[in-house]
Structure 1
């Protein structure tokens, strides 16, 4: 079956490239509209695009929908919100039918909040219309389609400049195929939420030199911030792709890439994992420049040792090698007490006491590590990542590169 493509008929400022798979709006700094594009084929299921580029010059963003008019016969307006002739558009959170708002606050997530590498989609199923944001079905649209023969409409509006077709049910992508590649990206700056501000106050007590820090990649994963961004809970990273979990409930402090990481383009080739550690080991590990094995002595004389509950040389199954770096693709495992030992933190502005746990978020070279089952007491640590593959380990020094430090603070009761 031929790949789904964009139609050559498009808005005055739109351009179709990459064999019909990519659409972009020309002169995005001076023009915010006239970027409507259509699918070349009528829809037979779900149609999705990934945002490849945005600008900060405007306030609106991507819009998506369907129209019963073929692109050749459509009167192309400057904005999809003005299209008629059996057209249904999702704009921000509202559903617009033939240029009239019909369903306000339809979606749980605003299209304005979808960042670069985020996905938006539309699907016709059983004569009903559904929209998707980052793989999540936003529910049935309360309108009847004028025709079952519809084309997808994507409006490169406002901040959204470039998109790429990433999937369609016409390409045999199943309903469960909601895990997509995730890319390192700079998040827009704004006032931190209360949780992120609390984490920053804690982080400042560690007195980490600025040379290590890259605050452009700070990110709060508290329940509220995670939901507002519309992010998925899991993503694929690297080549070949490997699944990892977003650290929901934690907060990331971005770290600078070292030259080796830049040279190896780790954000494209490496997998994402977590390495839990003790609070007082953060600075020695950063000073040393890499993760260390149990028994190693970090710069300054700090010795790395196994946490309580983890296998040691004196307590382990026969033949088990403890002298390696242990990681996990989920913070629900790497954040266990045996790895991320909790420490008390007193927040001076409020006087409240918290338990704090920390872990390094790292890139690890594909093929450098073994995948094994959990060696900790308990089971079903993560609802998506099975216990049989939840523990990663490597004997290669230099196979990992720092991406950030993730922090979780829990108020003492």
Structure 2
């Protein structure tokens, strides 16, 4: 068992943890903003969270090999499992870890040797990468991202306009349709949802550049209450500097 990873996960949800976010981070005026108030404990059995069970059904429907997953690090961030009284962000490695409210994480295995040598749980930043189902499986299978010109196992070449790998410190940006492709999902009892997948990652400091929102996102006044629009996108051409450690799933109900 990776004790450093467990320690990192426990720290991020310690109810007595104070969030000393540096002054240049924007703060929300709502109760869900970064604060130093003691977090409240909710008497709720997360093992039977209906939203998490639905997201798990979606993951099961993909028929991905179970060996890729590390269920010790599954975590639901719905309003029941992660209350509005809890902080929107924590400071990890002197960088904001923005909580993915409304999403469920399914832990995946990482290279334990690299994780310990690089001390990624303490020293690397938390970022998100929006993607589609096919690409997500390829990334998880190989433990790394592909860049422009790389070739898939089936012989297809990755064709994209830019030679960089893009991430964001907030899932609100990475989950945009331009990055996280929507998928129609019908549950076993006939309920219909739009499902999205985003990879939760650890990213090495000093290996990426920061820029503002691109595309249609530039028209939005405020994308995230923690990260400003002019610092919301990261890009790098160093594939080994980004390690995925969780598959984030969000389901949005739609009329059939």
| Higher normalized contact order (CA 8 Å, seq sep 6+, divided by chain length) | 2
Q: Is the 8 A contact 1:287 1:299 kept in 2?
A: no
Q: Residues of 2 paired with 1:301 and 1:340: CA distance?
A: 24
1:285 CA displacement: 1.8
Q: Note if contact 2:34-2:88 (Cα within 8 Å) is conserved in structure 1.
A: no
Which has more strand, going by share of residues? Answer: 1
1:266 is matched with 120
* More helix by percentage: 2
For 2:180, the equivalent position in structure 1 comes to 340
Q: How far, CA to CA, are the matches of 1:409 and 1:288 in structure 2?
A: 26
Is 2:56 the counterpart of 1:214? no
Shift of 1:212: 1.5
Q: Which has the larger radius of gyration?
A: 1
The correspondence of residues 10-409 of structure 1 with structure 2, limited to 5 A, is 116=11, 118-120=14-16, 134-135=17-18, 178=35, 190-227=46-83, 231-238=86-93, 241-258=94-111, 259-301=113-155, 303-304=157-158, 312=161, 322-348=162-188, 350-377=189-216, 378-379=219-220, 380-409=222-251
1:368 and 1:396 in contact (8 A); partners too: yes
Q: Which runs of 4+ in 1 moved over 6 A?
A: none
In structure 2, the CA distance between the partners of 1:355 and 1:177, relative to structure 1 (3 Å rule), is closer
Residue 135 of structure 1 and its aligned partner are, at CA, apart by 5.0
Contact in 1 for aligned 2:68/2:141 (Cα 8 Å): no
Q: Closer, same or farther in 2 for the Cα pair 1:373/1:189, shift >3 Å?
A: same
TM-score (norm 1): 0.50
Q: Distance in 1 between matches of 2:50 and 2:153?
A: 34
Cα gap change, 1:205 to 1:304, in 2 (>3 Å): farther
Q: Paired residues, what number?
A: 224
| Structure 1 contact 285–298 (Cα < 8 Å) conserved | no
Taking the aligned partners of 1:303 and 1:249, their CA distance within structure 2 comes to 34
Task: Give unmatched runs, 5+ long, in structure 1.
Answer: 1-52, 54-114, 121-133, 137-165, 167-175, 180-187, 307-311, 313-321
Q: Work out whether residues 372 and 390 of structure 1, in 8 Å CA contact, stay in contact via their aligned partners in 2.
A: yes
- Seen in structure 2, the aligned counterparts of structure 1 residues 398 and 189 have a Cα distance that, compared at 3 Å, is farther
Contact 1:360 1:402 (8 Å CA) reproduced: yes
Q: Structure 1 CA distance, aligned partners of 2:142 and 2:69?
A: 15
CA distance in structure 2 between the partners assigned to 1:302 and 1:204 by the alignment = 26
8 A Cα contact 1:284 1:300, kept in partner? no
Per the alignment, do residues 367 and 340 of structure 1 end up closer, same or farther by CA in structure 2, a change over 3 Å counting?
same
Deviation at 1:116, TM superposition (A): 4.8
**Secondary structure in structure 1 of the residue aligned to 2:80:** helix
Q: CA deviation at 1:274?
A: 0.2
Cα deviation, residue 119, structure 1: 4.7
